[in-house]
């Protein structure tokens, strides 16, 4: 449990930094790369939660399906924030 908390804390810090960066109007390619990175981190956090017993298998499945955050983020170059 302590290991998961430490790992989750690191992910939360990364999410906050990434979301703050998204608010700064990045170039479309940089924005897309950052969204991809945030998605990978969310997926890793979900896996760590499942392994540690903090998340039941499938309970967050619908929120982190491959491509979901990118689809919600709008077309490439969109200034609209992701609808996570």
Instruction: Give the tens place of pLDDT for each residue, 6-45.
Output: 888 889 999 999 999 999 988 999 999 999 999 999 988 8
What are the b/e assignments for 32-47, b being 16+ CB within 10 Å?
eebbeebbebbeebbe
Confidence class for position 47, pLDDT limits 50, 70, 90: confident
pLDDT bucket at 49, cuts 50 / 70 / 90: confident
Distance CA 5, CA 37 (A): 20
Domain boundaries, the chain: 2-71
Q: What is the pTM of this model?
A: 0.61
> What average pLDDT is seen over the chain?
75
């Amino acid at each position: 449990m302590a290991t998961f908390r430490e790992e989750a804390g690191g992910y939360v810090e990364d999410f906050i930094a990434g979301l703050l960066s998204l608010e700064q109007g990045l170039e479309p390619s940089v924005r897309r790369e950052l969204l991809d990175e945030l998605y990978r981190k969310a997926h890793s956090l979900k896996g760590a939660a499942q392994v540690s017993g903090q998340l039941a298998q499938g309970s967050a499945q619908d929120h982190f399906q491959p491509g979901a955050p990118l689809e919600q983020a709008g077309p490439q170059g969109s200034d609209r924030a992701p609808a996570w």
